[in-house]
Amino acid sequence: MVIVRIILNSCLFALGLLIGPNWACADFNSDAVGTSTANFLKLGVGARAVAMGEAYSAIANDATALYWNPAGLVRIEKNAAALMYAPYLDSSFYNYGAYIRRVGRHACGVGIQFFSSGNIPETDENNASLGTFAPHDLAISVGYAYRLTEHPGREGVGVGGTVKLVRSTIINTAQTVALDVGIQSGPYFDHLRLALALTNMGGRLTFEQDSENLPRRLRYGGSFAITEAWLASLDLVSPRDNQTYAAFGTEYTWHLRKGLALSGRLGYNSRTASDIDSVTGLSFGFGIESKIVSFDYALLPYGGLGLTHGISLDFKW
């Protein structure tokens, strides 16, 4: 049975390796950089994932899996929920919320992402004040996942998909529908997991005469349990509108007493590093977890622009 499981996993990921690069790069060229819209969809969710550099597609086993890799929904024990708040530069902020329910080999859930740019002064062509407007973005997601293989005491391959309504408001409003799909393996030799996720497929936002693609991305991921307490992860991400980048994260957990644990996290993301300077690629964080709820915090330096913080609460019951 172990051989069958390994063969099945290998076939699924080989298929992804064959079609993935063609999908991600089909319409990429040097002129594609910066041409996507709804860029709030690029912002990671969950302070744990953000602190680990966003290398999370193979780890995702909580309510944020709806964003990172919907296949991870089947790793939730029964019920899970997540709430996140992240203030960004100036008066902008980013929120995420989700609820997931698993029954047997099936799991489904709903989530919401909301990004606000704050209030921005509006003027006419003569530079006369017209007051303010508040650009904001919204995505509402509905996801489903199924565990393809299952063996007593061992997780099998999970597959999943998410349909989401994406709505963006500047002064006018545009909306579209997008699709995410993902695969996540069971553990190889109790240590290694692999993942593949394709996100923001289909759909374009049209403001008046201008129509732009969503920020489609292909994410290859792997996580490795070095010990029971020490976890490392790596994601390679191919976006439609930029060059491929790497994300790395690690987490170490101390079990303080039964039912209570403390985790320290460190991450590096070459996309954020290349945006401003190498320091901005780093991320840090910690988490405190009990049987029912966990609190997570993430810190991201943005060079001379300052620091960005994120906090999240995860529930399971």
Residue that is written with structure tokens 């915090």 in the block:
297
**109 closest CA partner among 99, 118, 117:** 99
Of 277 and 145, more confident: 145
Helical residues (DSSP H) of the chain, grouped into ranges: 2-25, 47-51, 65-68, 270-275
> 153 pLDDT exceeds 70?
no
Q: How far apart are CA 93 and CA 91, in angstroms?
A: 7
Structure-model confidence comparison of residues 109 and 128, the more confident one:
109
- The pLDDT, as a whole number, for residue 208 is 77
What value does the mean pLDDT of the chain take? 87
The answer to whether residues 32 and 196 touch, using CB atoms and an 8 Å cutoff, is no
Q: Which of 159, 232, 223 is nearest to 197 (CA)?
A: 159
How many domains does one find in the chain?
1
Query: How is residue 259 written in tokens?
Result: 């039912």
Using pLDDT thresholds of 50, 70 and 90, give the confidence band for residue 36: confident
Q: What is the pLDDT of residue 29?
A: 47
Q: How far apart are CA 212 and CA 193, in angstroms?
A: 35
Helix spans in 26-119 (H):
47-51, 65-68
Report the 10 Å Cβ neighbour count for 242.
20
Interval 89-102 mean pLDDT: 93
- 79's tokens: 């019920």
pTM for the whole thing?
Answer: 0.88
- Summarised one tens digit per residue, pLDDT across range 261-274 is 999 999 999 987 75
Residue 17 reports pLDDT greater than 90: no
Helix/strand/coil for 30 = helix
Q: Which is more confidently placed, 283 or 22?
A: 283
Q: What is the mean pLDDT of residues 208-213?
A: 82
In terms of residue numbers, what domain contains 178?
Answer: 2-316
Q: Given the structure tokens 């300077």, which residue do they identify?
A: 277
- We report the CATH number of the domain holding residue 277 as 2.40.160.40
Higher pLDDT, 184 or 134: 184
In terms of residues, how long is the chain? 317
Q: Which residue has the higher pLDDT, 240 or 287?
A: 287
- Whether 7 shows a pLDDT value over 70: the answer reads no
- Whole-number percent of the chain with pLDDT over 90: 64
Task: Give mean pLDDT, residues 183-210.
Answer: 90
* Between residues 207 and 19, the one the model is more confident about: 207
